[in-house]
Structure 1
Amino acid sequence: MAADEQRLCVAVLGAGLIGIDLADKIRRSAKLELALVAGRDPDGLGLRRVAEMGHPTTAGGIRAVVEAGPFDVVFDATNADSHAEHWAALRPTGTTLIDLTPTGLGTVIVPGVNNHRAASHRHMNLVSCGGQAAIPVLNAIAKRCTPTYIEVVCTGASASAGRATRLNLDQYIATTSAAIRTFTGTREAKVMVNLSPARPAPPFRVAMSVLADGIRPAPVRTSIAAAAQAVRAYTPGFKVTSLAVDPGRISVAVEVTASGGRLPRHAGSVDLINAAAVLLAEQLATSSR
Structure 2
Amino acid sequence: MTDTRTPVAVLGAGLIGVDLADKIQRSPLLDCRLVVGRRECLGLRRAAEMGCATSTGGLDSLLEAGPFDVVFDASNADDHAGHWARLHHTGATLIDLTPTQLGAVVVPTVNGDQALSHPHLNLVSCGGQAAIPLLHALAQCCAPDYIEVVSTAASASAGPATRLNLDHYIATTQAGIRFFTGAPEVKVMLNLSPATPPPPFRVAMTVLATQIQPEVVGPIVAAAAASVRAYAPGYAVTSLTVAQGRICVTAEVTAEGGRLPRYAGNLDIINAAAVLLAEQYTAARSQ
Task: Report the TM-score when normalising by structure 1.
Answer: 0.98
**1:144 aligned residue (133, 141, 165):** 141
1:14 matches 2:38: no
Match of 1:274 in 2: 271
Q: Deviations over 1:78-103 (max 9, x none)?
A: 00000001001100000000000000
Match of 2:215 in 1: 218
Q: Deviations over 1:178-203 (max 9, x none)?
A: 11011111110000000000000000
1:264 CA displacement: 0.3
Match of 1:87 in 2: 84
Aligned residue runs from structure 1 range 1-289, under 5 A:
4=2, 6-42=4-40, 44-289=41-286
SS at match of 2:108: coil
Q: Tell me how large the CA RMSD over aligned residues is.
A: 0.9
1:4 CA displacement: 4.5
Structure 2 gaps of 5+ residues are none
1:239 CA displacement: 0.3
1:49 CA displacement: 0.7
Identical-residue share of aligned pairs (%): 66
1:68 CA displacement: 0.8
SS at match of 1:11: strand
SS at match of 1:114: helix
1:21 partner letter: D
1:102 partner letter: P
SS at match of 2:212: coil
SS at match of 1:127: coil
1:6 CA displacement: 2.2
1:247 CA displacement: 1.0
Q: How many residues align?
A: 286
The 1:12–1:4 alpha-carbon spacing in structure 2 relative to 1, beyond 3 Å, is: farther
Looking at structure 1, the residues matched to 136 and 51 of structure 2 have their Cα atoms a distance apart, in angstroms, of 40
1:5 CA displacement: 5.3
The 1:129–1:54 alpha-carbon spacing in structure 2 relative to 1, beyond 3 Å, is: same
Runs ≥4 in structure 1, deviation > 3 angstroms?
none
1:222 CA displacement: 1.2
SS at match of 2:209: strand
Looking at structure 1, the residues matched to 21 and 166 of structure 2 have their Cα atoms a distance apart, in angstroms, of 24
1:249 partner letter: R
